[in-house]
């Protein structure tokens, strides 16, 4: 199966194996972050895994149309955001609390990670889950190291709105923690 990809090879045709290599490279670079983003939209481990798989499929389907008008990181995070919003709409979740089974997934857990660190991460994610979706989105992306500009591109809002949401979300998190 051949697919047309206009970036980085405008006018070129990439084979299915080329697309698979491209997808694997994107997942190697952004997979752990995308899993954490999926976790911010899901209530439990199974739901997070399902959402992550939906995100991967959506990236696969969108990859041939990637034109390079934004960074690859913005491209995959935008897809993850859209799938997360679709999940919320589909399941009509009330995202007030997080179940106890949520654990942060990292592809390369460090051996020196302590129980204290795990508890702090769990408390942070539980607190983030208590935020409204508008605040949860910006906090999750900021925790992933995205710039205000990247977050604004993903969410379709202004950078100043990103800053305002982050400021308010930090205040709310301080109160929750």
Domains of the chain: 2-176 (1.20.140.160)
pTM, full prediction: 0.60
DSSP for the chain, written as a single string: -EEE--SSSTT-EEEHHHHHHHHHHHHHHHHHHHHHHHHHH-SSHHHHHHHHHHHHHHHHHHGGG--SSS-HHHHHHHHHHHHHHHHHHHHT--TT---TT-----SS--TT--HHHHHHHHHHHHHHHHS-HHHHHHHHHHHTT--HHHHHHHHTS-HHHHHHHHHHHHHHHHHH-
Judged against a pLDDT cut of 50, whether residue 78 lies above it is answered with: yes
pLDDT > 70: what percent of the chain?
Answer: 79
Judge whether residue 54 has pLDDT over 90: yes
The per-residue pLDDT for range 110-136, each reduced to its tens digit, is 556 567 777 777 888 888 888 999 999
More confident residue, 103 or 128: 128
Whether 13 has a pLDDT exceeding 80, the answer reads: no
Q: Residue 8: pLDDT band by 50, 70, 90 thresholds?
A: very low
């Amino acid at each position: 199966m051949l697919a047309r990809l206009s970036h980085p090879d405008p006018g070129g045709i990439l084979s299915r194996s080329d697309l698979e290599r491209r997808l694997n490279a994107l997942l190697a670079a952004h997979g752990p972050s995308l899993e954490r983003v999926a976790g911010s939209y899901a209530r439990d481990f199974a739901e997070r895994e399902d959402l992550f798989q939906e995100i991967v499929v959506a990236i696969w389907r969108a990859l041939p149309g990637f034109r390079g008008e934004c960074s690859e990181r913005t491209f995959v995070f935008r897809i993850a955001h859209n799938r997360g919003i679709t999940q919320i709409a589909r399941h009509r979740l009330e995202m007030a609390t997080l179940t106890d089974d949520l654990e942060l997934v990292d592809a390369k857990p460090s051996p020196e990670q302590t129980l204290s660190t795990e508890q702090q991460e769990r408390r942070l994610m539980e607190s983030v889950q208590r935020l409204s979706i508008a605040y949860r989105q910006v906090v999750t992306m900021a925790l992933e190291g995205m710039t205000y500009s990247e977050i604004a591109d993903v969410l379709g809002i202004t950078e100043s709105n990103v800053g305002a949401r982050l400021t308010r979300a930090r205040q709310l998190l301080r109160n929750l923690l």
